Amino acid sequence: MKLQTPSLLYLVCITSLLFILSESTQPPFSCDASDPATKSYPFCETTLPITQRVRDLVSRLTLGEKISQLVNSAPAIPRLGIPDYQWWSEALHGLAISRGMRFNGTIRSATSFPQVILTAASFDAVGIEGRAIYNVGQAMGLTFWAPNINIFRDPRWGRGQETPGEDPLVTGKYAVSYVRGIQGDSFEGGKLGENLQASACCKHFTAYDLDNWKGVTRYVFNANVSLQDLADTYQPPFQSCIEEGKASGVMCAYNRVNGVPNCADYNLLSKTARGQWGFNGYITADCDAVATIYEQQGYVKVPEDAAADVLKAGMDVDCGSYLLKYTKSAVEKRKLSLSEIDRALYNLFSIRMRLGLFNGNPVKQPFGNIGLDQICSQEHQNLALEAARNGIVLLKNAKKLLPLSKTETTSLAVIGPNADSEQTLLGNYAGPPCKTITPLKGLQSYVKDTRFHQGCSAVNCSSAFTDQAINVATQADRVVLVMGLDQTQEREKFDRVDLVLPPKQQNLISAIARDAKNPIILVLLSGGPVDISFAKNDPHIGSILWAGYPGEAGGRALAEIIFGDHNPGGRLPVTWYPQSYTNIPMTDMRMRPEPSSGYPGRTYRFYQGPKVFEFGYGLSYSNYTYEFLPVKRNKVYLHNQVSSHVVGNSNPPGYIPVSKIGTEVCDKIKHQVTVRVENNGKMAGRHSLLLFVRPANMSNMRPVKQLVAFQSVNLKAGERAEIELELRPCEHLSLANEDGTMVIEEGSYFLSIGDKEIEIQAVK
């Protein structure tokens, strides 16, 4: 039977519509044990290897059926008992409204954790709630398109809020934690094996960190990236996500890298991800990225070439309809072989089988007991609160203004457009929260006489009510301003052009601070960094807190910190640059500085210029001191057999390729660095230890410094602890040379925590 493309499109659309209208309480699944017509198929036989089951399934499909499965809204195949499936679901920091999930049935909310830029929450909880909403029949899929692990390279990026920040190590560790949590690695002691609680998808592969800046959009942007920067900045988080996290999904990005669209790059998708890193999963395009290759980038001459190129590159599923429209004609025009379609289908159905969706009713499978009681459970809401508490950063605390006294603060003014905005707390890619506590509500629970004024009609302060706000402020003992940004100022498809607050908002802050009875407290909600030099240097502004977008419990967490029920310990995940940094084109992808041209470099690792606040900065109500304990080895012997003739012409003398050192030696030279940390304050606190390394001899090739290990420790007042941090020289002392090869330079290095340093040497 000849299957026409319009019929396929109609089938996909009607399938999605039926799901939206459906009120089913049963999860969709294949291989129903009560259906004799399907249970006899080999692909339903759970004792067979998944590879064998998938091959049997794919062999039974017609070409039309095969093509229908190459898009995110995969329709049902009734004759084989296969239900429709939606690949596109979102869970960036909690379950979110998306094509594959609805909140109009029994479940109407889910736990909303802080936006990623503030903190990395408990991802097990997100995976559990995802499986729960599927089990009650309110989801069409269990493939979540998160985490976003692009490096927050430029402070203006609208989607930087979705990432863990600017450091490759932190981003890689976050990726691994997210993937393992979502996919259920810890379920019943790790008994799942290749099976999945839910599927995580690391995005956006690769070098994607521009959405829409001064008319340059992500759809047409060609990121010119050196092999050096790819190797030690842009690629490491994805490598960690795949090799350590065992991610089951990857999303290729819209943009081109060095002229080649990411989704059509065989070297990136097949050679690097699958070949070098051992990726075992499916690769999706970002939505309409396949269409973009022809329609906006002009990379190919006809639409069929776009369809053929992405499938031959190793992509498996199109978020969109381009493969639905043009794959059949690409085959007929001999631009694409059937084997490439089959390869994609093997990857796609393998994931669905690993999710247990071809094993009969999921409710009777390992995750079948996850249900309504897991959604918005008290345990998960407590995790959201704890994550917000630990992520909020104290940026200024002149004369120890904070914490405020609960007994002596008799009246409080809370002012600002973000003070009572539930939506601002959530950031983007959010679902309906369990319950939301705004900063105003949180503070009202501490001070009965709390007065509120919005101050501005919106965050941009197009209408500022300065006189009224000042009047409210001057009648209170203490003033808390809750200001900053929201999704109107930074979001997907919208990058900033400035780093300062909207001018009228800044004027309002200064005016209230000047007239208030006592120094005020400024709270900033934002995803990206803001140049608040004016507030940092204003003596009328006593304390400043940055709270990111702290999720459903953010208001309570802020109030607890302001009144001393929690000791702040958060650290900034990005450098806060001055407004002058906007003179640098956002399109310049170079990480390393170029002094001859005045280019200052990017992120704390390479940037050479003034800062408002440094990466890793954060104050506490306690004072912590550090001491390095004597190291067992202060010399790292790289390899007795490495000599200059194996180094290669591309490396200067004294640079040794890590590949020549070898895995065995790299493992042998790993060792522990012990740091004694003491809480000298009067409050218990959670403190983050950040271990950096810097070279004794600087060059433009090397990072100024590099984070190599981090760990949090809870200490009571006066308590001390000895913390072991692992130093892995082959990873932590290496850098990429100009051709992308990881090398170690012989010589001296300094390990540092706070103001303490010790020297180690790398010798041949």
Give me the CATH number covering residue 648: 2.60.40.10
| 90-121 confidence digits (pLDDT tens) | 999 999 888 888 888 888 999 999 988 876 54
Find the angle CA(727)-CA(225)-CA(490) to the nearest 5 degrees. Answer: 90
Residue with tokens 């129903």: 32
Assess whether the previous peptide bond of 147 is cis (omega < 30° from 0): yes
Give yes or no for a contact between 558 and 439, defined as CB atoms under 8 angstroms apart.
Answer: yes
Indicate whether 630 and 509 sit together in one domain.
no
What is the band of 9 on the pLDDT scale with cuts at 50, 70, 90?
very low
The pLDDT of residue 483? 98
**Amino acid at site 229:** D
Residue at token pair 């932590």 = 732
For residue 697, what pLDDT band results from cuts at 50, 70 and 90?
A: confident
Strand order across the beta sheet in which 222-223 lies:
222-223, 256-257, 260-261
pLDDT at 1 over 90: no
More confident residue, 446 or 101: 446
Query: Same structural domain for residues 572 and 695?
Result: no
HEC letters along 56-67? HHHHCCCHHHHH
In a domain, 379, yes or no: no
The pLDDT value recorded for residue 122 is: 58
- Give the mean model confidence (pLDDT) for residues 609-633: 95
By mean pLDDT, which of 38-47, 243-252, 539-548, 612-621 is the weakest? 38-47
For residue 399, which phi and psi values (nearest 5 degrees)?
A: 55, 30
| Total domain count, the chain | 3
* pLDDT on residue 118: 79
* Shared-domain flag, residues 367 and 413: no
Q: How many CB atoms lie within 10 A of CB 739?
A: 13
22 found inside a domain: no
Q: Provide the edge-to-edge strand list for the sheet that holds 720-727.
A: 624-628, 671-679, 720-727
Asked whether residue 448 falls in the same domain as residue 513, the answer is: yes
Task: Please tell me the predicted confidence (pLDDT) of residue 187.
Answer: 64
> 132-136, 266-270, 552-556: lowest mean pLDDT where?
132-136
- Residue 476 tokens read as 């209170």
**To the nearest whole percent, how much of the chain has pLDDT over 70?**
93
CATH number of the structural domain spanning residue 183: 3.20.20.300
Amino acid occupying residue 580: S
Q: Rounded mean pLDDT of 272-300?
A: 98
Domain termination site, one of 374, 409, 425: 374
Q: How far apart are CA 415 and CA 521, in angstroms?
A: 10
DSSP state for residue 576 in the 8-state scheme:
B
| Listed residues 583, 604, 632: the one ending a domain | 583
Residue 752 has pLDDT above 50, yes or no: yes
Residue 368 shares a structural domain with residue 486: no
DSSP-assigned states of every residue in 665-734: HHHHT-EEEEEEEEE-SSS-EEEEEEEEEEESS--TTS-S-EEEEEEEEEE-TT-EEEEEEEE-HHHHSE
- Give the model's confidence band at 643: pLDDT under 50 very low, under 70 low, under 90 confident, else very high: very low
Q: 534 φ, ψ to 5°?
A: -60, -40
> What is the rounded CA–CA span in Å between residue 323 and residue 334?
15
Q: For position 653, what pLDDT does the model report?
A: 66
Burial 623-641 (b: 16+ CB within 10 A, else e): ebeeebeebeeeebebbee
Q: What is the mean pLDDT of residues 34-39?
A: 81
Phi and psi (nearest 5°) for 685?
-155, 160
Domain end: 583, 599, 614, which one?
A: 583
Instruction: Write out the residue range of the structural domain in which residue 503 sits.
Output: 391-583
Residue 341 domain-assigned (yes or no): yes
Is 50 exceeded by the pLDDT of residue 5? no
Q: Retrieve residue 668's tokens.
A: 């042998």
**pLDDT surpassing 60 at residue 640:** no
pLDDT confidence of residue 229: 98
- The SS3 call for residue 232 is helix
pLDDT at residue number 35: 84
Average pLDDT taken over every residue of the chain:
92
Does the structure show a pLDDT above 60 at 647? no
**Average pLDDT score over residue span 527-541:** 98
- Structure confidence at residue 38 (pLDDT): 81
Within a domain: residue 30?
no
What percent of the chain clears pLDDT 90, i.e. is strictly above it?
84
pLDDT at 12 over 60: no
Alpha carbon distance 518, 477 (integer Å): 7
pLDDT tens-digit profile of 515-529? Answer: 999 999 999 999 999
Average the pLDDT over 253-276 and give the result. 98
Mean pLDDT calculated for residue range 35-60: 93
CA distance linking residue 702 with residue 698, whole number of Å: 7
Distance between CA atoms of 181 and 183, rounded to whole angstroms? 6
Position 702 in a domain: yes
Among 286, 318, 495, 531, which one carries the catalytic annotation? 286
Residue 146 located in a structural domain: yes
Dist CA 628 CA 689 (whole Å): 12
For residue 190, what pLDDT is reported?
A: 65
- Res 188: pLDDT: 60
User: Which amino acid is located at 463 in the chain?
Assistant: S
Are 420 and 547 contained in the same domain? yes
Would you state the pLDDT for residue 7?
Answer: 43
In this structure, are 694 and 578 located in the same domain? Answer: no
| 744 and 670 both lie in a single domain | yes
Identify the residue with better confidence: 4 or 221. 221
Q: What pLDDT was estimated at residue 644?
A: 40
Three-state SS for 317-384 is EECCCHHHHHHHHHHHCCCCCHHHHHHHHHHHHHHHHHCCCCCCCHHHCCCCCCCHHHCCCHHHHHHH
Mean pLDDT of 695-710: 89
Overall average pLDDT of the 598-609 stretch: 96
- DSSP 8-state code for residue 629: P
Band (pLDDT 50/70/90 cuts) for residue 363 is: confident
* Co-location of 165 and 284 in the same domain: yes
Which of 15-19, 172-176, 336-340, 519-523 shows the lowest mean pLDDT across its residues? 15-19
Q: What is the DSSP string of 507-526?
A: HHHHHHHHHSSS-EEEEEE-
Cα-based angle 288, 108, 420 (whole degrees, multiple of 5): 90
458 within domain boundaries:
yes
**Judgement on whether residues 97 and 233 belong to the same structural domain of the protein:** yes
- Residue 125: what pLDDT? 87
How far is the C-alpha of 256 from the C-alpha of 400, rounded, in Å?
Answer: 50
Q: Is 286 a catalytic residue?
A: yes
Using an 8 Å Cβ cutoff, are 524 and 500 in contact?
no
Which residues on neighbouring strands pair with residue 269, listed in sequence order? none
pLDDT at 444 over 90: yes
> What is the spatial distance between Cα 218 and Cα 297, in angstroms, rounded to a whole number?
10
Query: Strand locations in 422-477, DSSP E?
Result: 450-453
Residue 469 shares a structural domain with residue 363: no
Q: What is the CATH number of the domain that holds 534?
A: 3.40.50.1700
Mean pLDDT, residues 421-425: 97
Looking at the domain assignment, is residue 47 inside a domain?
no
pLDDT of the residue at 8 = 45
Q: Are residues 307 and 428 in the same domain?
A: no
Q: Which pLDDT band, with edges at 50, 70 and 90, does 652 fall under?
A: low
d(CA 483, CA 486): 9
Question: Would you state the pLDDT for residue 759?
Answer: 95
Least confident stretch, 184-193, 402-411, 441-450, 491-500: 184-193
Q: Does the pLDDT at position 566 exceed 80?
A: yes
